[in-house]
Amino acid sequence: MALNGGGTDLVVVNGPSRLTGTVHVSGAKNSVLKLMTAALLAEGRSTISNVPDIQDVWIMADLLRRLGCGVVYDDVRATVAIDVPEQLHYQADYDLVRAMRASISVLGPLIARCRIAEVALPGGDAIGSRGLDMHRSGLERMGAKITIDHGYLRARVPGELYGARHNLDFPSVGATENLMMAATLATGTTVIENAAREPEITDIAHMLLSMGARIEGIGTGTLTIDGVDRLEPTVHQVVPDRIVAGTWAFAAAVTGGTIDIQDANHGHLGVVLDKLTQAGCLIDVHSNGFTITGPERPHPINVSTLPYPGFPTDLQPFVVALNSIASGSGMVTENVFEARWGFTAELARLGAIVRLDGHHALVSGIRRLSGAPVVASDIRAGAALVIAAMVADGVTEVTGVGHIDRGYEGFVEQLQTLGGGIERKPVGGEWDPAV
């Protein structure tokens, strides 16, 4: 069971450590949360396997229960069974939605099934404004009437939900998913141009296919969905988490260790592994993942984040951490979330030299960071700070650990297994994820 209420815990890192050993990668957070909402599209029991034991899954399970579903997690088999009733409730309340932006992905399925949805406006990671305009205008084009009041997005479909042509301003992951899910039960054909192509979207599309949906162009920037009258429940296995795999790869790169990353799909990390090779890492791909050995001191790397198959924004904080100890300066450009730099002020507390200019960060490497108290502000920033702390002299205390628990299964325990000088200290008290 995930660590609930551990959000006010702190982790204490005693550096430096060289991380060496084996890790197993779980199913992808950014896929399973949407697969769980996709289950809403069919009455009956859908079962999802390779489910990670993380807080966001528990939040989504609670949200689905509020919508009237029975949700049972089997931690031995890592499966979640979702029993979807004929009649769903259609309101997703603020207390759950504010904890996790992915809650917005109930919108498409609820509109498709109930023709009405009321979803509190989400909070989630503190990494930018994260608008919903493409979700909204896309669903309106399909016949939904949408208003926003009292902190809720309220959608209803007075007539028919019909297929439509969408040309997204930006290949938004969330908007592509909501529109694709709504379109499966709409009348007629929907075309989504400039659709996001992340492996997690491909995963959701495959689950929808197994439920009886008709989707073409999976994995490309143009999705064509022919609506059907009803979908059937299904059984589906979650794709491996490429961001978790990438996190461990950076952990080896930063600490100069060797990590065998099992149950990972290296094909989903093409540009990431190329950049790590440029940094001086040795990568050996095997049938079930890959092994990576970091250099004594990494070369700096220049990285621009982009939608898939570009460099993932979720691994950007790890690039900044790597460049902060590299043998020179590296430029990091953030093109997906405008405000994803908050953690650099924390990294600077460890001695990192980061100069920000708009969506660019110039990072000048120094030989060794030095331990200090820091605060994790989101999932990836928190994990990147912990990894940076692994190569800082002395003690680093990281608070806001609840953010890390949202996306990583047993992160601290895995670091201990790899030889990291790290322990978790319960502090107690209620954690407010929106802070």
* Burial classification of residue 169, based on how many CB atoms lie within 10 Å of its CB (0-12 exposed, 13-18 middle, 19 or more buried): exposed
Output the six-digit token pair for 169. 């301003």
Q: How far apart are CA 431 and CA 425, in angstroms?
A: 15
Query: Min. distance of Cβ 433 from ligand UD1 in angstroms?
Result: 14
Residues 13-32 that bind ligand UD1 (CB under 6 A): 30
Report the residue number, 125 or 260, with the smaller CB distance to ligand UD1: 125
* Strands 329-333 and 360-364, sheet pairing: antiparallel
The binder of ligand UD1 chosen from 53, 203, 241, 314 (CB under 6 A): 314
User: x/- contact string, 57-96, with ligand UD1 (CB under 6 A)?
Assistant: ----------------------------------------
Query: Measuring CA to CA, which residue among 323, 256, 326 is closest to residue 293?
Result: 256
Strand-pairing partners, residue 384, are: none
Output the six-digit token pair for 149. 């009041």
169 flagged as catalytic: no
Q: How far apart are CA 284 and CA 276, in angstroms?
A: 12
Residues 363-402 that bind ligand UD1 (CB under 6 A): none
Report the residue number, 113 or 242, with the smaller CB distance to ligand UD1: 242
Query: What are the strands, taking DSSP E only, across 211-317?
Result: 214-216, 222-226, 235-237, 258-262, 282-286, 289-293, 303-304
Handedness of CA 37, 41, 42, 48 (dihedral sign): negative
The binder of ligand UD1 chosen from 73, 90, 248, 337 (CB under 6 A): 337
Query: Min. distance of Cβ 21 from ligand UD1 in angstroms?
Result: 27
Report the residue number, 104 or 253, with the smaller CB distance to ligand UD1: 104
Token look-up 């990353």 returns: 261
Residues 173-232 that bind ligand UD1 (CB under 6 A): 173-175
Q: What is the residue type of 89?
A: H
The binder of ligand UD1 chosen from 50, 55, 172, 190 (CB under 6 A): 172
Among 122-130, 295-303, 315-323, 397-405, which window interacts with ligand UD1 (CB under 6 A)? 122-130
Report the residue number, 175 or 238, with the smaller CB distance to ligand UD1: 175
Strand-pairing partners, residue 148, are: 153
Residue whose beta carbon is closest to ligand UD1 = 174
Residues 128-147 that bind ligand UD1 (CB under 6 A): 128-135
Output the six-digit token pair for 434. 């929106």
The site that binds ligand UD1 (CB under 6 A) totals a number of residues, namely 21
Among 11-19, 72-80, 167-175, 361-369, which window interacts with ligand UD1 (CB under 6 A)? 167-175
Does residue 406 interact with ligand UD1 by CB under 6 A?
A: no
Q: Which of 125, 203, 241, 314 is catalytic?
A: 125
- Residues with Cβ < 8 Å from 418, sequence gap 6 or more? 19, 20, 21, 23, 251, 257, 259
- Residues with Cβ < 8 Å from 232, sequence gap 6 or more? 42, 44, 211, 212
Q: How far is CA 168 from CA 132, 188, 384, 385, 431, in A?
A: 12, 19, 31, 34, 36
Among 68-76, 123-131, 272-280, 381-389, which window interacts with ligand UD1 (CB under 6 A)? 123-131
Query: Min. distance of Cβ 317 from ligand UD1 in angstroms?
Result: 11
Q: Which residues are catalytic?
A: 125
Q: Which residues sit at the interface with ligand UD1, rule CB under 6 A?
A: 30, 33, 101-102, 128-135, 170, 172-175, 313-314, 336-337
